[in-house]
Structure 1
């Protein structure tokens, strides 16, 4: 059975309409408890609003949306505090809540399973005592 000539065109048009409808439905559905901010694009978020000088672009956005706003960089939502009072709120009053960063695969492999700075201090101390001691350096003289 052969399809009519207009069938592929209709299928593409239907897929486009459904795709645009899903995007517009997602953009119009904004929770009431969400922070103010520009509507993000599906894949790039709000990267299109950042110019050559990102700090000035964020300043212009803060003039429009207020001192505390939500922007999205790619798929990561970011809260931007652009006043002294908001910065004190984040950095002094509630620093323990906002101290965590998203855990990514690169961090897992480069920091030995998200270990903290105490591990690096211990590793540096062991290297200084064992690897870079005078006795060890003399033993590797033929390699150097």
Structure 2
């Protein structure tokens, strides 16, 4: 079933990643993530596919820039940096990995094809932001051994 929970998304906070001694492709990918965020300051969650779309809008790509994004994506989970692995639906994973501008068509063996829209992509972004807002502080406190910050 398309909506079963199985796929994983690896979430990092690039400002928390020390940039010294990173593998080349990871450093370059994070550098473009930084540039993307500067141009999209209101977007709280950024996917690699968002950066791909953005580069395409500038008539560029990871390939044209000489960045092996696939190597970077497979390397990031092995690095000793703060990160959360999220269990997500196959549907959300399809949207997360789709860098097309006009939405994704999913074909099923025993059902009609379905168009996943940019509106749904936005909703998944919002769901990620909500989940990370909930889970990230607890994760960081546990990782660093720090107490929760309370208001004065």
Query: Shorter-chain TM-score category?
Result: under 0.3
Normalized against structure 2, the TM-score is what? 0.26
Normalized against structure 1, the TM-score is what? 0.27
